[in-house]
Chain A
Amino acid sequence: ILNVEQSPQSLHVQEGDSTNFTCSFPSSNFYALHWYRWETAKSPEALFVMTLNGDEKKKGRISATLNTKEGYSYLYIKGSQPEDSATYLCALRDDKIIFGKGTRLHILP
C-alpha cells in the first residue's frame, strides 16, 4: 500500500516571497503523480499530472518536478500572491488514488 507524505503540514509565506514544499512516496511503480490546489469553499483543482522521472511542469508562477527513483516531488511557487493561499495536495495514481494530507499555505500581506 502506497503511503504519500507531504511536508510541511502548514506554511506561512510573506507576499512576494518564493516557496516550495514536498511530496514523498515509496519509490515504486505507479502510473502518475498529481498535484491539486484546494481553496477554501471550492473544489480541488488539478495543477499538474506527471508520469516520468525527471518530469518538470510549469503553469505561470507554479512549477513542479518529479523524481521517481528517490521518491519525491517538489512544488514551487515563485513570488507568492494572496490568491495562492490554499491547501496543496499531491496524489499517487496506481490501481488506487492515494492522496497526501496536504500542505496548507498561508500568504501574509
Chain B
Amino acid sequence: KAGVTQTPRYLIKTRGQQVTLSCSPISGHRSVSWYQQTPGQGLQFLFEYFSETQRNKGNFPGRFSGRQFSNSRSEMNVSTLELGDSALYLCASSLNQGPGTGELFFGEGSRLTVL
C-alpha cells in the first residue's frame, strides 16, 4: 500500500513568488491535513480537508490556501512568498470520517526555501 506522497520534495523560490505543493493521500483516506514546521517551532496546523471541503483552518494569513480534489488529492498554495515562509511543509492523511481519533499518516514533506 503506497504511503502519502508529497511533491515536490525540495524547491527554491524568491520573495513575492507563489508556490503550489501537492499531496496524494493513502488510497481510501479522505481526510488530508497540512502543517508547517520552522526551526524552533513545532508542527503548526495549516488546514484540514475532508471530501473536498475545508473542515478547519489554523492561524495563518490568507496567503496560505488549499483545496482538495474528488480523488482526495490535495494542494496547498502560498502566494506572495515571504522569507519567513521558508519551512518544511508536511501533509498527512487519515481515515477518520469526522473530527475524530484517526491517526495521521505523514508524507516526507516539501522543503521550501524562499530567497
Contacts and interface: CB of A to CB of B under 8 A. Distances in A.
A43 B43 contact: no
Instruction: Please report whether the interface of chain B is mostly helix, strand, loop or mixed according to DSSP.
Output: loop
Interface of B: 3-4, 33, 35, 40-45, 48, 56, 58, 90, 92, 99-109
A93 to B, nearest CB: 7
Contacts of A108: none
Contacts of A17: none
Interface string A71-107: 0000000000000000001010111111111100000
Given A43-B106, A43-B108, A96 B100 contact: no
A95 B56 contact: yes
A46 B105 contact: yes
A51 interface: yes
B103 A46 contact: yes
Nearest to B107: A43
A49 B101 contact: yes
B42 A101 contact: yes
B90 A51 contact: no
Contacts of A32: 100-101
Nearest to B4: A43
A42 B109 CA distance: 9
